[in-house]
């Protein structure tokens, strides 16, 4: 039986001059955001886009606080990446945990892995482990940043640099909205940004361990997220205004 060929990091195609121009614009965006708002926070998943943003934030000197959603179901590699990133950039990344009562309520209703049963329990799990903690992490902030890109999925094709997060009543920015996947990896390779180990094993998109798997070559880059659901929307709800 022939083993499937999985996604791999795309080759770099930008020249150094083109990449330097993109990097300068990214730093300008981050600095402008930091200057416009008094309390800006960045939610990092430690995946490629967010590592590129972390590198740019640290090099720009922008006053942006970093946090990550410690869902309780992350890969060990992701947990290890948090510490490795802190050591690399000499920064502190806040771990934001779900409330035990919220997780227990989900387990009582659906079971520990009940998210496999359909869209509703999947949303409930993400709500307890990701959305409520994100809301708590953004309390008091007047802007936040994500690593979303237009190219990532059909639900993000209209993404802009700046939008208003109606659900939380604050500004939201997507500094990489117009970057391609190849752009991200060219930046990471040129700037020697730490790479999440799962990217080297066929995972282009990384979330919680039970809800993420490798992607075969030629598949959509988010095909490995919630793969058991028949839906074009591969979202957990973090980036949906409600």
Q: Output the CA–CA distances (angstroms, integers) from residue 31 to 148, 174, 236, in the order listed.
A: 18, 13, 29
CA gap 239, 154 in Å, rounded: 13
CA gap 95, 75 in Å, rounded: 15
Cβ(197)–Cβ(82) below 8 Å: no
- DSSP codes joined into one string, 157-216: TT--SEEEETTTTEEEE-TTTT--HHHHHHHHHHHT----GGGGGT-SS--BGGGB---B
Q: What is the DSSP letter of 229?
A: S
Residue with tokens 């598949």: 219
| 14 CB-side CA count, 13 A | 21
Element (H, E) at 16: helix 16-36
CA gap 176, 161 in Å, rounded: 8
User: Which among 125, 126, 208, 236 is annotated as catalytic?
Assistant: 236
* Catalytic annotation present for 236: yes
* Neighbouring residues of 184: CB distance < 8 A, sequence distance ≥ 6: 48, 49, 52, 149, 176
Active site positions, annotated: 236
């Amino acid at each position: 039986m022939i083993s499937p060929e999985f996604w791999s990091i795309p080759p770099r195609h930008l020249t150094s001059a083109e990449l330097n121009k993109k990097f300068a614009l990214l730093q300008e965006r981050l600095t402008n955001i930091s200057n416009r708002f008094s309390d800006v926070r960045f939610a990092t998943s430690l995946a490629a886009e967010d590592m590129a943003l972390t590198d740019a934030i640290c090099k720009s000197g922008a006053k942006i606080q970093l946090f990550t959603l410690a869902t309780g179901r992350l890969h060990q590699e992701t947990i290890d990446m948090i510490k490795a990133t802190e050591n690399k950039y000499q920064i502190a990344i806040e771990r934001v945990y779900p409330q035990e009562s919220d997780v227990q309520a989900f387990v009582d209703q659906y079971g520990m892995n009940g998210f496999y049963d359909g869209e509703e329990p999947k949303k409930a799990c993400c709500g307890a482990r990701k959305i409520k903690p994100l809301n708590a992490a953004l309390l008091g902030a007047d802007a936040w940043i994500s690593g979303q890109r237009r190219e990532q999925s059909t639900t993000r094709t209209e993404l802009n640099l700046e939008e208003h997060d109606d659900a939380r009543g604050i500004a939201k920015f997507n500094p990489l909205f117009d970057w391609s996947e190849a752009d991200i990896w060219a930046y990471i390779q040129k700037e020697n940004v730490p790479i999440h180990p799962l990217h080297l094993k066929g995972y282009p998109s990384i979330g919680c361990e039970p809800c993420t798997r490798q992607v075969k070559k030629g598949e959509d880059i988010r095909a490995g997220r919630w793969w058991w659901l028949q839906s074009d929307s591969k979202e957990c709800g973090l980036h949906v205004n409600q």
